[in-house]
Amino acid sequence: MSKVLIVDDDQDICRLLQALLEDEGFQVKSVYNGRQALEVLQREEGWVVLLDLRMPEVDGREVLRRLHQNPRLYRKNKIAVMSAAIRRTRRPQLFLTGEVQRVMPKPFELEEVIEVVETLAG
Amino acid sequence: MSHPIDPAAQEELESLSEAIASGMEQEQLLTLIAQRTCQVLSVAEAHLFLKQGQLLIRKASHQARQTVPLRSTLALSEGLEGWAARSGRALALEDALADRRFRSLTVAPPDTASEQGHSAVQAAAVPIWSEHQVVGVLSVVAVDQLPSPATLASDFTATPASAPSAREHASIKGLLPLLAVLADLTALALENTRFLAREGRRAKLLTLLHSLAFDVPGKAVLKDVEAQLGEVMEAQLVDVLVYHAATDELVSLAKSETALSLAQRELGLDHLPLGQAGVLAEVFRTGQPFLSNDLRSVPQFPAALTEHLGMKAALVVPLEVEGQQRGLLSVMSSRTDAFFEEDLPFVLLISTRLGHVLHSQELSRELAGAEADWLARADQEQFLPLVAHDLKNILTTLRGNAQLALRRAAREEVSSPEPVFKLIATKADQAIQLVDDLVDASQMESGLFRLFMESVDLVELLQEEVASLQETAGEQHPITFHSEVDQMLVEADRYRLSQVLTNLLTNAIRYSPHGGPIEVTLSQVSAEAGRSNPAGETGEPGQVPQAVLVTINDQGVGILPEERERIFERSFRGRGAQVASGSGLGLYISREIIERHGGRLWVEPREGPGSSFRFTLPTSRTSPHELA
């Protein structure tokens, strides 16, 4: 698994993450909202998804909800959510609910991003 | 906005005031008032009390429904009547049976349970005012018959039209203004019945009393009262003067647009310096009313009012708001011999009522102000985190791009990467920290700051923090960690605790510009040494409550003795500030966090250079064994 899908309405963040991960040898695609993300995931599987929670219209939580309704989609991808609202201490709780594999709080360090993606890409 | 009285009630009240003016024994008069009160308001009972020392003496009662034995006196501490007398305010109980203040008057309480089933009982009491004092209370009881259980049962078979309908359930609050007018009439009846003898004024007087009887007066109430009082008193100029301490003046609140009022304003006579107010200043200072039917013979009366406005007679009474001398109510006439001694109690009563109106206006203004403050604050509290969120996103992008450039330079083995990238990354980092500190401090102030408690191994957390900070510290600042124990469980917010440790260790590095070792130690102490609140719990029997002490020693610039407490204040910057940069909020936030955990954070001097920061935390009661 070496494909990364970045989902964030902030295009500057997308560009930064894309450049960083491409430097590390990943194949990277960026989309700017939840609807586009679901389209990509339905077409292709095997993504490491970096999903922003706070987006206009279809937000990250809605994407997670729809993925859960389709267990196949959910199993074939690995998801890390990015959020400024989730503090590091809340990590265990989110793991326990089984919704996501990793939480990446914003603001993030570049090393942390690489570590998260490499772990999930396995 | 004026409040017209219902025509039927108006007629009843007029005939009552006529009866009062006709002159009769007080006892007879009060019985008449109680009886008419029942008629005017369509209530079951009316009771009239007069105040005597600490007692309310029941002077008259009228019971339309059935006659229940009643007590002849109430203490001021008893009943809704006592409440109204004590507070000087009207009180309405919409569910009187549920209120213990209601039953005080009856000698033997009737069978409440059976009564409750059949009727809804409401009660109200208003104070009777005279010369700015409460002299008595007028109270009423309204009973609405509800369908009895038997009637209810038959309702299922009867047609709706034939079913007995209960009386309309109007709230007794709606009766308060009329009840207040009746109390005012009682006050006038007690004082001087001759005042009501002048026939032409009775209807106008009732309208005036009614206008003043509303809890929340309309904006135009002053204008109404001025006009109506002018009519009742056949006076050309009615003025409410309020003392302004800032300018030492009596300032007119007059709003009426009569030619005289306009002239008064044009001539600037709506502002009277207290020093030039003569008799008016005297009334304000002493609280003694003033009456003169020939102002030319009173040299101390402000000449402007007599000369320019042609006033010949005046009746001036003090205006009190909540027992405080606030100004004057003056009634003036261009005729001589316009006023009588018997007018005094009436004008005083109007002044008392005006004081209540002004007070409730002040209250509603205060409330409006407080609400606006609160809204502004709530807005600000939500505004800051939102802006902080966006700002941090921007800074993250900025810092990330600078770091990306540095990574690329390193990858391409550029020997000296553009120094500006390092600078951007560092400065963006500081800005993110500053934004975080601002949000934390503001949430602590506003009470929105929260801790998320979990069981945390302090030894492990300290090891992690020391290792992470060692990377930034470099070889100049070797950080050592020593612990008495292998594991130390505390109930804490892991993220916030790590924030405190990062802050203290970063400070130790920052304020040691010449390097030197930094020692971190963990030890156990007694709870008394560690607790912020010595009056707290003492723990389970047989268990000695414990606390944990963390010490961070540096060999930096140290802290002046007089600054050892001040460094924990908001935005304090010490003498080391030149060598370091930060928001200045770090220690303030750290102390708040530790204290919210039930611990203490302080600084002690060291022998030799540097300082020793120490904090304690209560240890977790749960043993590691139980956790597993």
User: Quick one: DSSP state of residue A13?
Assistant: H
Contact partners, residue B520, CB within 8 Å, separation at least 6: B462, B466, B479, B480, B481, B482, B505, B550, B551, B552, B553
Which of A47-51, B152-156, B377-381, B414-418 has the weakest average pLDDT?
Answer: B152-156
Say whether pLDDT at B410 is over 50. yes
Q: With bands split at pLDDT 50, 70 and 90, how would you rate the model's confidence at B381?
A: low
Q: pLDDT tens across B267-294, in order?
A: 777 888 888 888 999 999 898 999 999 9
> Which of A19, A106, A108 is facing B404, going by the closest CB pair?
A19
For tokens 């990330």, name the residue: B400
Q: How many CB atoms lie within 10 A of CB B317?
A: 28
Q: How far apart are CA B506 and CA B537, in angstroms?
A: 34
- Tell me the backbone φ, ψ of residue B378, rounded to 5 degrees: -60, -40
Closest residue, chain A, to B399 (C-alpha): A109
Q: How many CB atoms lie within 10 A of CB B401?
A: 20
Q: With bands split at pLDDT 50, 70 and 90, how would you rate the model's confidence at B153?
A: very low
Say whether pLDDT at B583 is over 70. no
If one compares B81 and B513, the residue with the highest pLDDT of the two is: B81
Q: What is the pLDDT of residue B534?
A: 39
Q: With bands split at pLDDT 50, 70 and 90, how would you rate the model's confidence at B448?
A: confident
Q: What is the pLDDT of residue A89?
A: 46
Q: How far apart are CA B215 and CA B66, in angstroms?
A: 32
Q: pLDDT tens across B493-526, in order?
A: 888 999 999 999 988 988 887 888 999 999 998 7
Say whether pLDDT at B590 is over 90. yes
Q: With helix as H, strand as E and coil as C, how does A93-110 read? A: HHHHCCCCCEEEECCCCH
Say whether pLDDT at B44 is over 50. yes
How near does any CA of chain A get to the CA of B595, in Å?
19
Contact B395 A107 (CB under 8 A): yes
Alpha helices in A1-122 (DSSP H): 11-23, 34-43, 60-69, 71-75, 91-96, 110-121
**Most A CBs within 10 Å, among B382, B389, B392, B393, to test the A interface:** B393
Which of B283-292, B378-387, B531-540 has the weakest average pLDDT?
Answer: B531-540
Residues paired with B128 in a beta bridge? B136
Q: What three-state secondary structure class fits B318?
A: strand
Q: What's the mean per-residue pLDDT of chain B?
A: 80
For tokens 């009943």, name the residue: B79
Q: How far apart are CA B336 and CA A81, in angstroms?
A: 89
Q: What is the pLDDT of residue B582?
A: 64
Which of B68-82, B299-313, B539-553 has the weakest average pLDDT?
Answer: B539-553
The tokens for A66 are 């729809």
> Which of B396, B411, B454 is facing A108, going by the closest CB pair?
B396
Question: Which of B302-306, B377-381, B455-459 reaches the highest mean pLDDT?
Answer: B455-459
Contact partners, residue B458, CB within 8 Å, separation at least 6: B488, B489, B490, B492, B497, B522, B548, B550, B617
Q: How far apart are CA B295 and CA A14, in angstroms?
A: 88
Cβ atoms of B17 and B4 closer than 8 Å: no
Counting residues of chain B whose pLDDT is more than 90, the rounded percentage is 22
For tokens 């026939």, name the residue: B199
Q: What is the pLDDT of residue B107?
A: 63
If one compares B23 and B311, the residue with the highest pLDDT of the two is: B311
Q: What is the pLDDT of residue B530?
A: 53
Which of B178-187, B469-478, B496-505 has the weakest average pLDDT?
Answer: B469-478
Contact A107 B493 (CB under 8 A): no
Contact partners, residue A76, CB within 8 Å, separation at least 6: A45, A46
* Peptide bond preceding B605 in cis form (omega within 30 of 0): no
Q: Report the relative pairing of strands B119-130 and B290-292 from DSSP bridges.
A: unpaired
Q: What three-state secondary structure class fits B309?
A: coil
Q: What is the pLDDT of residue B162?
A: 37
Q: What is the pLDDT of residue A90?
A: 44
If one compares B578 and B591, the residue with the highest pLDDT of the two is: B591
Give this prediction's pTM. Answer: 0.50
Rounded to the nearest 5 percent, the helix, strand and coil shares of chain B are: 45, 20, 30
Q: What is the pLDDT of residue B110?
A: 52
Counting residues of chain B whose pLDDT is more than 70, the rounded percentage is 82
Say whether pLDDT at B263 is over 80. no
Q: What's the mean per-residue pLDDT of chain A?
A: 83
Q: How far apart are CA B543 and CA B187, in angstroms?
A: 71
Say whether pLDDT at B158 is over 60. no
What is the pLDDT averaged over residues B420-429? 88
Cβ atoms of B392 and A107 closer than 8 Å: yes
Chain B residues whose C-beta sits inside 8 Å of any chain A C-beta = 389, 392-393, 395-397, 399-401, 403-404, 407-408, 411, 432, 452, 454, 493-495
Determine the residue type at A115: E
Q: pLDDT tens across A51-103, in order?
A: 988 788 888 888 888 887 887 777 788 888 887 765 554 444 444 455 577 77
